[in-house]
């Protein structure tokens, strides 16, 4: 994750997390509403050099008690942390914060079943599913983070999530899942050479209040890419006030041969939307 502001997004905890992310901040927060006073948070420092409370991020997470009701702020000092992290569902009120995305990195390499392979910044490669971050929890926020992999980079699985000023990179279905999420001022970068899909939203019923909304974002890439394809029959994705470089093909969406799946993947061309 990249550098993250000391902002709170009220919510519950994660269930299972990541692969590799480059650090800003993410917050897995409370079941209450309203603004939280971070001055009351318990500070835990992670420093590979030994000048902190822990050398590993997971050790700091493990130190937070189950069914926690206090704010914890885990400050991660610069370094490359080779860990596969998990924030359990019974540990809410946690903020993880690094300094800069360029110098605070969490990395691992894994593939296989997408629920278990998440590893923040996933260095597995291009030959299979390699989730970098899995988010399954309500009211979780990410600020200034880099989320990097190739296929299924961000498994935005379930719950309500907020991504602000994040950089998300991949080639195939690299933002996928069935959460209700807002991506604001994020940079989406496609590594696909030919018509890879940026999104694969998994809404299965018209009654589900889920979908991906991209507001004020930017899309770039190395080849050509589709805005998305429907993982579920009622996939819902909206791009608004978003800059789209020529990497986005005029077709826009791939409906997998079923035109009825186009109806929820619309409202794409509102606001600033250029091919240049």
**What residues are annotated to the active site?**
152, 173
* Maximal CA-CA distance, the chain: 58
Distance CA 141, CA 127 (A): 30
Q: Which residues of 78-103 are buried (b: 16+ CB within 10 A; e: fewer)?
A: bbebebbbbbbeebbbbbbbbbbbee
Q: Rounded to whole angstroms, how far apart are CA atoms 169 and 105?
A: 15
CA 228 → CA 75, 147, 200, 232, 266, distances in Å?
35, 18, 6, 12, 11
d(CA 99, CA 268) in angstroms, rounded, equals 34
- The span from the CA of 114 to the CA of 133, in Å, is 10
- The three state secondary structure string of 2-16 is CCCCCCCCCCCCCCC
Query: 227 Cβ partners below 8 Å, 6+ apart?
Result: 197, 198, 199, 237, 239, 248, 252, 253, 265, 268
84 and 17 in contact (C-beta within 8 Å)?
no
204 close to 232: Cβ distance less than 8 angstroms: yes
Of all helices (H) and strands (E), which one includes residue 63? helix 57-63
Give the burial class of 113: count Cβ atoms within 10 A of its Cβ; 0-12 exposed, 13-18 middle, 19 or more buried.
Answer: exposed
Strand pairing class (140-143; 25-28): antiparallel
């Amino acid at each position: 994750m990249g550098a993250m502001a000391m902002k709170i997004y009220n919510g519950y905890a994660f269930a299972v997390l990541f692969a590799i992310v480059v650090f800003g901040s993410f917050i897995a927060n409370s079941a209450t509403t309203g603004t939280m006073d971070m001055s009351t948070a318990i500070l835990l420092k992670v420093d590979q050099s030994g000048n902190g409370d822990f050398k590993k991020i997971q050790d700091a997470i493990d130190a937070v008690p189950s069914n926690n009701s206090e704010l914890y702020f885990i400050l991660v000092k610069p370094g490359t942390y080779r860990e596969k992290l998990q924030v359990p569902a019974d540990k809410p009120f946690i903020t993880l914060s690094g300094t800069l995305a360029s110098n605070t990195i969490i990395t691992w390499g894994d593939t296989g079943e997408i629920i278990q392979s998440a590893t923040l910044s996933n260095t597995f490669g291009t030959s299979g599913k390699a989730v970098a971050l899995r988010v399954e929890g309500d009211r979780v926020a990410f600020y200034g983070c880099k989320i990097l992999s190739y296929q299924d980079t961000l498994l935005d699985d379930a719950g309500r999530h907020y991504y602000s000023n994040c950089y998300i990179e991949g080639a195939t279905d690299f933002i996928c899942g069935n959460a209700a999420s807002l991506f604001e001022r994020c940079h989406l970068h496609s590594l696909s050479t030919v018509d890879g899909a940026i999104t694969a939203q998994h809404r299965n019923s018209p009654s589900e209040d889920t979908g991906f909304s991209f507001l004020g974002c930017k899309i770039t890439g190395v080849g050509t890419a589709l805005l998305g394809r429907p993982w579920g029959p009622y996939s819902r994705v909206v791009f608004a006030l978003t800059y789209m470089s020529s990497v986005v093909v005029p077709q826009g969406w791939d409906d997998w041969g079923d035109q009825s799946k186009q109806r929820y993947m619309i409202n794409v061309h509102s606001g600033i939307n250029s091919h240049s």
